[in-house]
Structure 1
Amino acid sequence: MSTNIMMPKLGMTMKEGTVEEWHVSEGDTVSKGDTVASISSEKLTQDIEAPADGTLLKIKVQAGYDTKVKTVIGVIGEEGESTDDNEEDAQEKKDDTENENQKADKDKSSRSTSSKKSSNDGNKDNNASNQKRIFISPLARKMAEKNDIDIQRVEGTGGNGRITKLDIQRVLENGLDKDAEKTSSPPSTSTVSADVGAGLNPMRKRIAQNMRQSQDQTAQLTLHRKVNADELIVFKDKLKKELGDAGQDVKLSITALLAKAVVLALQNYKKMNVRYENGELTEYDQVNLGIATSLDDGLMVPVIENADGKSIGTLAESIRTLSEKVRNNETDGVPMSGGTFTITNMGASEIEYFTPILNVGEAGILGVGAMQSEVVMQDGNVRQVQRIPFSLTFDHQILDGADAAEFLKILAKYIENPYLLVL
């Protein structure tokens, strides 16, 4: 009996993926566990292993093409077996698509109560038209350019309205989806060129595209300041000892305490806990905290959903677990998008200050530097203190420097008075 090779779901919000490369050809013999293909989503790349021993009978999605998650991209079996999808497979794909659409509608509905629009509501229609981004796969863009198709007049059916190969094929068969007068505004300059990241490996290419998209769509400014961490260190050591005495196996770290402080600061200053996408500014009550995680060949940002509802110990465990999973390439079920704020820590590299780049849609990202010992004058006496350097990058379209400074002030309050973290 033949076995299907499926397009995996790399993240909670992933709806489609791209087959980057096939490492075997039709007719090749493979063993279970052999790498047969490499695929990618908007943020992730992953090698696909053969699910069974046999012969690669059919490649159903060629390299460079997009397809929805849980669709068949190849078939392994014995020579001569049929490779046609049966009715059960087709129904399963239909059910998966319907479930994803229902989840998207539910997520959108749950956020609407905390949504705040930008102040230019009177010009909403014009602003939305001028600022709308066009998401399109590299292959679909090449097809559109080859056939002289205006992509502004194509309705994308992929994730986040992304235009795929199938959308271009539909337009070639049935004509454009939108009237010209409805798209008379100039083409969006925020669409990242398909050439960005050319020649890089799939992960670095995705990073390059995301970073360029972030720089193109935002006005990024970074503020720097140091915060006294003496009390935080004492608090960590005491809490760690008490947890140990109580038999609690919690690997407590400064990063976990900083994460808790950031969550509380975001709840106190909700202007920073927002997403700005497609001309709409949405303020969230819920904190979805991204934790930038370095890999050997790139960077991933797993997201701790509902971080505002987690204790220090739970946050510590979430950070450890998610970081281990992405480093081990075990990203199935790990949230990789939808963050409202991100922390990136370069302290281990002995970097003090840097200028982190915003993740697309988020208004802020906090860079954490290496802790510094400094001699200061305090109450007429000279003493040594430990200070943590922070670099806060924010979108100046949404927030002013005074707003970012206020957020850092609130964050400093929690770090310098760490018992507030457990109230």
Structure 2
Amino acid sequence: MIQEFRLPDLGEGLTDAELVQWLVAEGDTVALNQTLAEVETAKAVVELPSPFAGAIHQLHAAAGDTVDVGAPLVTFALDGGEAASPEPAAPEPDTAPEPVDAPEPVADSEPTDAVSAAPRREATLVGYGAVGRSGARPQRRARRSPTAPLATPPPLDGERERPRSTPPVRRLAKTLGVDLDAIAVNGRPITRADVEAAALPQPAATARASAAANAQRVTRHPIRGIRKHTAAAMVRSAFTAPHAATFVTVDVTETRQLLESLSRDKALAGHRLGILAVTAKAVCLALRRTPFLGARWDEEGGEIVEPSYVNLGIAVATDRGLMVPNVPDADAMSLVELADAIGEIAGAARGGTISPAQLTGGTFTITNVGVFGVDGGTPILNPGESGILALGAIRRQPWEHHGEIALRDVTTLTLSFDHRVVDGAEAARFLTDVAGVLREPGRAMLLG
């Protein structure tokens, strides 16, 4: 028995996926739930388990192909059944006599695409069979009427006056390879300066030659997979939500000192506590006072949807592009639990083992641009969210402290927000709360 397996809906309304690699080949016998292939969606690389136990009869795509949801992916031969041909029998050749008055093709006419000795098949999805003949007769090229007028011949060269020039000028033109007929002088004799000017490289020709040379020195990368979908999402976000941004520079010396102290605590050995984890905790605390930073704009419903939880997204740079997995219910976690969860999802994203569920449903995002040595920036909102915080690099620099100048650890926080959902006062209050926790970690007890 033949059974077809089509690419399933992998969640969140995704319409297609890119086939990364097959883990089976045609003729292989597979078990139920054995991994058939890896596919990459807009969210992650996903393993596809086999829905049947049997033999692989046909693979309908190759690595690198983009497959639509619902399109055939694998054909199985179950219970040892032989595979039937997916194509219908070829139609009988058309033996109807040619009409007597049918115009004959001219001797120099070429056959059109419709004329072929064998039936031609349209490109179809494998497994649906070939498209047969339409039944329409091939269209023949009509004869030209004997009385049809011929095109008017171009004027002969002898019908126009050859440009005037002296023998030395003609010798120079021959030496430089210049065509005197191509020089426009409006009836006056051609001079030596005209020939020399014509011999110089023309700007258009120079530009074409430069472009052709540069074309050989570029590398073209296909836009596909996560990078393709991320780009589309960022464009949609940038031109849908009215972005606004606000900044604050904060002294985080006390937070750095706290983290150094915690790193020496043997009870916390094995837990990676860093500035990102403290920032994540500060965000969760600040969202309690300004919950609209975690809300979303529902255009169709005409509502602002405010969740009672925080699914905290963490932007992660991977070899396949930017990914934003999130920590569910981050607001209910301790600092240590939050640090562990962030490390786990970041590792899964870079290793390609993140699940689609972990990449959806976020309510607020943090992007740590400081790890790249960047002081700050204005990030684009993750689609469906109303706030994203950029954490800049921490710099040791002179700073006012207790009325004196001292070397302090300083960083810049940038908040981008959807101005439909959040007004400037709310954004400022949120950013001030986050900065307050990073400046004085003890303030977390006041917000908590």
With the shorter chain as reference, the TM-score category is 0.5 to 0.7
TM-score of the pair, normalised by structure 1: 0.62
Residue 228 of structure 1 corresponds to 251
AA of the residue aligned to 2:427: A
Structure with higher Rg: it is: 2
Q: 1:215 aligns with which of 235, 238, 245?
A: 238
- Given candidates 304, 307, 313, the residue that maps to 2:336 is 313
Seq. identity, %: 29
Q: Match of 1:405? A: 428
- The SS at the match of 1:257 is helix
Question: What amino acid is aligned across from residue 268 of structure 1 in structure 2?
Answer: R
1:328 Cα deviation from its structure 2 partner = 1.3
- Aligned partners of 2:385 and 2:428: how far apart in 1? 17
Q: Secondary structure at the match of 2:382?
A: coil
Q: Is contact 1:19–1:38 with CA below 8 Å preserved after alignment? A: no
2:388 paired residue number: 365
Give the letter for the 1:295 counterpart. T
Q: Which residue of 1 aligns with 2:119?
A: none
User: Which amino acid letter does the alignment assign opposite residue 67 of structure 1?
Assistant: V
| Residue 212 of structure 1, CA deviation | 0.9
Task: Look up the match of 1:349.
Answer: 372
Which residue in the other structure is 2:288 paired with?
267
Deviates more, 1:359-368 or 1:274-283: 274-283
Q: Distance in 2 between matches of 1:402 and 1:369?
A: 22
Structure 1 residue 304 displacement after superposition: 0.7
Is the 2:236–2:383 Cα contact (8 Å) retained in structure 1? yes
> What is the one-letter code of the residue matched to 1:413?
G
| TM-score normalised according to structure 2 size | 0.58
Task: Look up the match of 2:39.
Answer: 39
> Aligned pair in 2 of structure 1 residues 324, 81: CA closer, same or farther (>3 Å)?
farther
* C-alpha distance in 2 between matches for 1:313 and 1:29: 50
Tell me the residue number matched to 1:419. Answer: 442
- The answer (yes or no) to whether the contact 1:342–1:365 under 8 Å persists in 2 is yes
1: CA distance, partners of 2:347 / 2:418: 30
Decide whether the 8 Å contact of 1:19 with 1:61 is kept in 2: no
Q: Is residue 57 of structure 1 aligned with residue 57 of structure 2?
A: yes
Q: 1:67 aligns with which of 55, 66, 69?
A: 69
SS at structure 2 position matched to 1:403 = helix
**Alpha-carbon distance in 1 for matches of 2:38, 2:236:** 24
Is residue 324 of structure 2 the alignment partner of residue 301 of structure 1?
yes
Cα separation, 1, equivalents of 2:260 and 2:56: 56
Higher fraction of helix: 1
Alpha-carbon shift at residue 335 of structure 1 (Å): 1.6
Structure 2: unaligned runs, 5 residues or longer: 85-220
1:340 and 2:363 are equivalent in the alignment: yes
Matched, 1:375 2:373: no
- Aligned-residue RMSD, C-alpha: 3.9
Q: Deviations over 1:192-225 (max 9, x none)?
A: xxxxxx9512211101111111012111122222
Shift of 1:284: 1.9
Rounded to whole Å, the distance in 2 between the matches of 1:215 and 1:398 is: 15
Specify the code of the residue in structure 2 equivalent to 1:259: A
Offset, 1:421: 3.4
Task: Give the conservation status (yes or no) of the 8 Å contact 2:263–2:269.
Answer: no
Counterpart CA distance in 2 for 1:294 and 1:9 is 26
Partners in 2 of 1:4 and 1:250 — Cα distance?
48
Write the letter of the residue equivalent to 2:388.
I
Q: Rate the CA distance shift 1:387–1:67 in 2: closer, same or farther, 3 A.
A: same
Match of 1:20 among 18, 21, 29: 18
- Match of 1:149? none
Per-residue deviation, 1:381: 2.1
Paired positions, count: 304
